[in-house]
Structure 1
């Protein structure tokens, strides 16, 4: 019921006034146009893979054939001539699934409902995910397929149908990269998790050689409640070999891993290019990859290239959001502002930045405990491993990117920082000390209030100039 309520609330707020601005907003001038061009068979050049625009095209087609927009679509020569709802509604549906997918990942690892609900709620209360879900843009498709890939991989660790789940994971991750190349961050996170499992095993083996094969090994399921104190066991810790908490990952054969997380993603990526290349015949598949690469390498990285450029290390602190739409209307003695910003929920983002740093510290400390054969929580270490690997894989590679980057490039990494915050809040709520429970409740309240306060600039609701300026706390936010 909780997840159904989150889904219903997220869906309602994404569809409320969806065509309030019945004009192309920000990169809709590219993505909505390209989706329309697929249906009208108009060749065009695009600097991203095509998968996200296929969904926009599907949304326009369904709107035309089942939602009363057929005549307008048939008579339209450009995308500007159809209702904006046509190229936005599919984003609203897919964007609504993102909080649910995050909650599903949290539950798959921990089997803790409250933690999963908190993670889902925090994502639902993020402004940037909301804004991207309300316009004909493509980042929500990258997030949805990336999260599906991670979820399928985690299910493969506990399912009797491991091969099927790994194949599904690889296919989703291939689809993710087919939206934008930075979707490869989710796949890199899987590689880091797999490599980390083997690295931990190698280090443990080195430290455990002094133990006899008959020494006791502790048993634990990655999805069960294994936070019981291992010290309750009468066997002294220095005489016990603890199993690798990521051992289920080690059970994946290396060849199988290569097939499902290298070959399958590439095949999906290649197949998804076919419709695009049939319409746009100027370049071959390889030629298009080169064109995309050279285009992105040619973009500058200063305010002259784009006024909303921002550095990767500034994203968690939300230093420079992106303005998507702005209109100021004089109404007598007042100026009414209509503004849409690609703008996160500030309290959520700032708290999450500290939360993921804390989880990273815990992850390192637990890793050292594992290597030194000290008792540790199996489930908690798996959770922290997933959060840290996915956050690092989706965030740190941007440090090497020389082109102009924007705050929405942080979206994939931010989801895992929200999960980190949910974990800390859940722990606080479970604490016997009343002060920690109050602190956890205050954190939730601050995030909710932040979402409510900045909601007008997520939805483009009318504000007086004074009310708008009151929400722009820093000059760099304008």
Structure 2
């Protein structure tokens, strides 16, 4: 993986000369001339020969990717100017929570009235909401700033989260692969993928889960480098003093790890499945510590990590995560009318015996949390767009967020008139098929690579898949949807980029292999861009003749 450099790393002379880096021929044999690197490598060396050109590439290429992400998420964000799909829950909950401190109930016909500007028709009756409050606080903030009657106002938060996710995946990819090229490819693929675009244009909560979990991953990568440098410094100091390195130190000052704890707390404060990211990344952090100590020859690397460092790491992360979670619920405690706020004060509800000392406010909160958990693991009402987790990687049943049919001559303001016999507008949570299916296959490739090579970067990517995907397989009877996959899509994209990096190879590869690798990866990326252009109307509710719309439904289950 580390042998797949970006073009910015090809400016040196080594590897670009004929035969550079090749092993010497056996004695008594005629030396063969091996040409390494492609003509594209040579051209790139010429155009980036100056430090200014190199800086322009390192900043300019990621900047272009961010611009694409901004355009795909913010252009036409207010269309359709109505509540779509599960925005009916989260938009109204966010606005009543912003005004009252808790989510309230609304009249039965509230969606149309809300979209028409009647935004203050919520009641004072608390509503039973089944997700924590952080995501709705973010949505409510932008509604308060921009005006709750505007559709773009309640979608700005998720759009911004989508753009920041693209920035983060580039930072993560550069940390993993040490390649600007692969970082730009990772950001570009996430910027143009349909699932990521749709989830950045519809005011649901899952994009915030993706963002905070990915932020935690980046911070953990920073912590890994930080811890390794401190571990090496400790070992050098002990050896210079003639002292044993025994089981290694317990590192208490790990600012990146503590920041990751805050980010993981925010992840769980958006939706309940964020807890799995907290658990899996905590395990990954401990395993990473074990492997670092073994790598640097600390004798008691395993026991030292489990006995000394793991408890410290727990104290540096879990309490901070819990504090963030409780902080996002502060208004539940301060609002006298919150749902179940006074449950423990009712006759027969308060805890007795060993736990009677727990404050009644906290008893009421924990009872509410238990109700939320029970709902989330038991929700099984049939839905026409439910998708079993076992089918997610195959993308069998994408979620239709919005569909509006038009007859010939009927006009949609801002979109024009239907000129065919019938037309339609659709927002479908359908990923770019090439990116999604390519990413799914790449996961299998990386499993094999990890078994054979034990590369920590590969293991880290796979752990992201484990955290975001595998826990859902235990809920085969729960009503779930394909769009939940946005939480682990960055790791699927990283898996795809890792395989593309293997295909691209190195500038030290013989010319035929390097040329074929670059051409194959380039063709893949061009086709991915073309498919995103083709599917753009289905991600943004563009008015299309029905016959054209139907061309996008490659599988009968996509309708």
SS of alignment partner, residue 327 of structure 1: strand
1:274 corresponds in structure 2 to 330
More helix by share: 1
Partner of 2:240: none
SS in 1 for 2:521: helix
How far 1:289 moved relative to its partner?
Answer: 0.9
Task: Name the counterpart of 1:306.
Answer: 383
Residues 1:419 and 1:158: Cα distance change in structure 2 (over 3 Å): same
> 1:166 and 2:225 equivalent?
no
Question: Compared with structure 1, are the counterparts of its residues 347 and 324 closer, same or farther at alpha carbon in structure 2 (3 Å cutoff)?
Answer: same
Per-residue deviation, 1:329:
0.2
TM-score normalised over the length of structure 1: 0.80
Cα distance between partner residues in 2 of 1:129 and 1:180:
18
Inter-partner Cα distance in structure 1 for 2:504 and 2:458 = 19
* CA positional deviation for 1:355: 0.7
Shift of 1:297: 3.5
Range with greater deviation from structure 2 (250-259 or 330-339): 250-259
**Range with bigger deviation, 462-471 or 241-250:** 241-250
> Of 16, 20, 30, which residue of structure 1 is paired with 2:79?
20
1:278 Cα deviation after fit: 3.1
Unaligned runs of 5+ in 2: 1-59, 105-125, 231-251, 342-363, 410-419
SS at match of 2:402: strand
| Match for residue 56 of structure 1 among 139, 155, 176 | 139
Alignment partners' CA distance in 1, 2:329 and 2:222: 28
The structure having more radius of gyration, on CA atoms, is 2
Structure 2 CA distance, aligned partners of 1:105 and 1:248? 29
In 2, the alpha carbon distance for the partners of 1:88 and 1:417 equals: 25
118-127 or 407-416, which deviates more: 407-416
Quick one: distance in 1 between partners of 2:305 and 2:158? 34
Structure 2 match to 1:348: 435
SS for the counterpart of 2:472 is helix
Question: Within 2, Cα distance between the matches of 1:244 and 1:462?
Answer: 65
Deviations 1:199-254 (A, max 9, x none): 7689x8xxxxxxxxxxxxx87xxxxxxxxxxxxxxxxxxxxx89999999999821
Is the CA contact (8 Å cut-off) linking 1:128 and 1:344 kept in structure 2? yes
Instruction: Give matches, 1:83-102, under 5 Å.
Output: 83-102=150-169
User: d(CA) in 2 for partners of 1:343 and 1:185?
Assistant: 25
1:325: which partner in 2? 402
| CA deviation after TM superposition for structure 1 residue 197, in Å | 4.2
Quick check: 1:339 aligned with 2:426?
Answer: yes
Q: Which moved more, 1:451-460 or 1:155-164?
A: 155-164
The Cα RMSD (Å) is: 2.7
In the alignment, which of 363, 367, 379 is matched to residue 287 of structure 1?
Answer: 367
Could you say if the C-alpha distance between residues 362 and 87 of structure 1 is closer, same or farther in structure 2, counting changes exceeding 3 Å? Answer: same
Pick closer, same or farther for the CA change 1:331–1:246 going to 2, 3 Å: farther
C-alpha separation in 1, matches of 2:305 and 2:534: 43
Q: 2:446 matched to 1:446?
A: no
- Shift in Å, 1:281: 4.5
- Answering whether residue 189 of structure 2 is matched by residue 126 of structure 1, we say no
Note the alpha carbon deviations across 1:377-397, whole angstroms, 9 max, x for none: xxxx12111101111121111
SS class of match (1:476): helix
CA deviation vs aligned residue, 1:124-168 (integer Å, no higher than 9, x gap): 121111111112111111111111111111111223695221111
Q: Give distance in 2, aligned partners of 1:403 and 1:247.
A: 40
TM-score (norm. length: structure 2): 0.69
Pairwise mapping of residues 170-209 of structure 1 onto structure 2 (< 5 A)? 170-197=261-288
Match of 2:117?
Answer: none
The equivalent residue for 2:417 is: none
SS of corresponding position for 2:323: helix
- Taking a change above 3 Å as real, the CA distance of residues 243 and 407 of structure 1, as seen in their structure-2 partners, is farther
Distance 1:424 1:2 in 2: 21
1:296 positional shift: 2.2
Q: Secondary structure at the match of 1:57?
A: helix
Give the deviation of 1:398 after TM superposition.
0.9
- Structure 1: gaps spanning 5 or more residues: 65-72, 74-81, 205-217, 220-240, 368-380
Partner of 2:557: 476
Confirm or deny: 8 A CA contact 2:265 2:321 kept in the other structure. Answer: yes
Give the equivalent residue in structure 2 for 1:110: 177
Contact 2:199 2:486 in 1 (8 A): no
Distance change >3 Å, CA 52–CA 348, structure 1 → 2: same
Q: Deviations over 1:263-310 (max 9, x none)?
A: 22112112211123433152432022112122223322xxx6111111
| Alpha-carbon contact 1:114-1:426 (below 8 Å) kept | no
1:9/1:348 Cα in 2 relative to 1: closer, same or farther (>3 Å)?
same
- Structure 2 residue 110 is matched with structure 1 residue 30: no
- Cα drift, residue 17 of structure 1: 1.1
The CA distance in 2 between the partners of 1:394 and 1:475, in whole Å, is: 27
Given that residues 157 and 248 in structure 1 are in contact (C-alpha distance below 8 angstroms), is that contact kept between their aligned partners in structure 2?
A: no
User: In 2, distance between residues paired with 1:451 and 1:321?
Assistant: 16
Q: Which residue of 1 aligns with 2:448?
A: 361
Partner of 2:479: 404
Q: Tell me the SS of whatever aligns to 1:319.
A: coil
CA contact (8 A) 2:439 2:495 kept: yes
